[in-house]
Structure 1
Amino acid sequence: MSAIIPKISRLSSRVVRILGCNPGPMTLQGTNTYLIGTGKRRALIDAGDDNTPEYIQSLSSVLQQENAVLEHIIVTHWHHDHVGGVKDVCDLSNNGCKIWKYRREDLDSLPDGIVLNFLTDGQEFLLEGATLRIVHTPGHTTDHVALSLVEEDALFSGDCILGEGTAVFEDLHDYMLSLNKILKLKPSCIYPGHGPVIMDPISKVQYYIDHRNEREAQILEVLRNESDKSFTEMDLVENLYKEVPKQLHQAAAVNIFHHLNKLHKEKKILRNQDDRWQFNEVSKL
């Protein structure tokens, strides 16, 4: 059972979490957005989805209680449940706050009137009581960033690491590099894009790395044991994700596809003309 997350939670003297009020199979309890700083002008990490008036009401009440305005909205990546609410938040703030995101050439469009500023790896945002440092962590998406809260040695992980379950990704190779990058940061805690705060971040990140390596080994084992057959991604999902609800199988198939692509590049498996996958007997040699 998923943890219950309040709509509004003060997580530290510098961090207030506002739940995006958009629960679902892929968003868990909803998108976590975070108000950062202790002074008048603050930053918001992610803006939730669009058409969520309940979220805007929550954010508005927090800004009023904190006597704060938004100076920056920093989006961790292009997915709609993180960037979709930008216009609504801008309309609420009504003070010309800057919108930031890492560049992604094909998916950097925002609603009319919204000007996008592009993040750089290592860039810092100096707020009263808080310093945010950008950490480019591609893999979930090419434009994905995490943010280090320097004063607390904490990390906002976006969708690279979730509070519950594991994440999907666009590029497994890049994703594994990003996980190892986060592991080397040794954060004290992780504030994820979905799910509860992660208080044991090192073991959580290591679990993600081990899980992906284990999944790759499982795929290879299935293909090797039945090397005379070929498989689709969904064949492998049904074989390996028996305990996962059916509504999540399509997302699991995407992850399997990226594992297969990686193994194909390494010449450990073959892809036939029907887009089915088979163990490469030559790889034994």
Structure 2
Amino acid sequence: MIPYIREIEFEYGRCDQVSPLIRRVIARNPGPFTYTGTGVYIVGSGEVAVIDPGPEIAEHLDALLAALKGERVTHILVTHHHLDHSPLARPLADLTGATIYGRPAPSDPGEASRGPEGAGLEEGADGRFRPDVELVDGQVLSGPGWTLDAITTPGHTSNHVCFGLKEENALFCGDHIMGWSTTVITPPDGDMGDYFASLDKVKARGFDTLWPTHGAPIREVTPFVDAYIAHRRAREAQILDALAAGHGQIKAMVPVLYAAVDPRLHPAAAMSVLAHIQQLVREGRVVCDGAADLDAGYRLP
């Protein structure tokens, strides 16, 4: 069982010092995919980096500018291109002269990822997101007293990047790992095989703290990531059991597999099941009758 961390002390718009090098401002955009809202991290003092500036909300921009008053923003870092993470990057850069770092939105993320509605699957994609500097794995960014390295972590999206803070052995993990919930994997841009590999990659680094964009920090990192992986493997086993019982379509599996989950999240859950099944098909553990999509029929070999 995942040891979720759902308690978080905050006020919208307030800038909280959450560690010696990190401050946080939370946007007022709560929801089923954002929890209490987008947590924007400010790293350093004087010359700072801003991570995941969040949605274009005037109140939120004002709060960020107040938190940054008297300082120089040198870096704006974006973990991925969803509407709750990246849209404010360009307006903030225009106001501060900062450089935007990240990986560009995919040219064709698929129908499921487009628009704020996105069939109710996600907060929606910022398909126009293009950083000033396209990051590569291991790229180092630094300022006075702080050092960040880019860790490419595809899975939730193909362009997802986490950022390691050397001085505190901490990771800004975006939506790759969240303390309050599991992460949605939405094909075709999301990929379950990539996601498992990225979880292993983060675990191998041995971070002391994870700072998700939504929710509270994760302090017991290795047990939490192990539980995240075990949860995904258990879901995989449940899907195989459902197929063995003759449930050959995703729409028949979701109400059973996700009976305890908010029904508003069932469309997203269906996409995660699809992501699992697509990986199982690639591994030869499941057979697909036709294209591996939400409407296909599946069976064991």
Cα distance between partner residues in 2 of 1:187 and 1:204? 12
Counterpart residue identity of residue 260, structure 1? I
How many residues end up aligned between the 2 structures? 270
Residues in 2 aligned to 1:76 and 1:272: alpha-carbon distance in whole angstroms: 36
Deviation at 1:163, TM superposition (A): 2.0
Alignment of 1:241 with 2:261, yes or no, is no
Q: Which residue of 1 aligns with 2:230?
A: 210
Structure with greater proportional helix content: 1
1:189-224 CA distances to partner (integer Å, 9 max, x unpaired)?
A: 100011111111111111111011000000001111
Structure 2 match to 1:9: 16
- Residues 1:146 and 1:115: Cα distance change in structure 2 (over 3 Å): closer
Q: Provide the C-alpha distance between the structure 2 equivalents of 1:153 and 1:115, rounded to a whole number of angstroms.
A: 26
Task: Give the TM-score of the pair, scaled to structure 1.
Answer: 0.89
Residue 271 of structure 1, aligned match among 246, 268, 288: 288
Question: 2:210 aligns to what?
Answer: 190
TM-score by length of 2: 0.84
Counterpart in the other structure of 1:48: 54
Mapped pair 1:63 → 2:80: no
Deviation at 1:97, TM superposition (A): 0.8
After superposing the two structures, state which structure 1 stretch, 5-14 or 179-188, moved more.
Answer: 5-14
Gap runs ≥5 in structure 1: none
SS of the residue corresponding to residue 298 of structure 2 reads strand
Measure the CA separation in 2 of the matches of 1:194 and 1:115: 22
**Equivalent residue letter for 1:242:** A
Shift of 1:33: 1.1
The residue type paired with residue 3 of structure 1 is E
Residue in 2 aligned with 1:134?
A: 150
Percent identity of paired positions between Structure 1 and Structure 2: 34
Separation in 1 of the partners of 2:163 and 2:96?
A: 24
Judge conservation of contact 1:2–1:29 (CA < 8 Å) in 2.
no
Q: Distance in 2 between matches of 1:234 and 1:278?
A: 12
Point out where structure 2 has 5 or more consecutive residues left out of the alignment. Answer: 109-125
2:248 corresponds to which residue?
230
Q: Alpha-carbon deviation of 1:150?
A: 0.2
Counterpart residue number, 2:44: 37
Q: Which amino acid aligns with 2:97?
A: G
Amino acid at match of 1:241: Y
Q: Distance in 2 between matches of 1:225 and 1:144?
A: 36
C-alpha contact 1:135 1:145 (8 A) present in aligned 2: yes
Higher mean Cα deviation, 115-124 or 99-108? 99-108
1:44 counterpart letter in structure 2: V
Q: Secondary structure at the match of 2:171?
A: strand
- 2:165 aligns with 149
1:90–1:174 CA distance, 2 compared to 1 (3 A): same
8 Å contact kept, 1:103–1:119: no
Distance change (3 Å), C-alpha of 1:72 and 1:242? same
On the 8 A contact 1:5/1:29 being kept in 2, the answer is: no
Distance 1:163 1:76 in 2: 17
Distance 2:131 2:238 in 1: 45
- Equivalent in the alignment of 1:255: 272
- Is the Cα–Cα contact under 8 Å of residues 105 and 128 in structure 2 kept in the other structure? no
What is the CA distance between 1:13 and its match in structure 2? 1.8
Residues in 2 aligned to 1:210 and 1:177: alpha-carbon distance in whole angstroms: 14
Q: Which amino acid aligns with 1:230?
A: G
Q: 1:223 to 1:129 in 2, by over 3 A?
A: same
| Partner Cα distance (2:49, 2:296) in 1 | 47
**Structure of greater relative contact order (alpha carbons < 8 Å, 6+ residues apart):** 2
- Distance across 2 between alignment mates of 1:172 and 1:115: 25
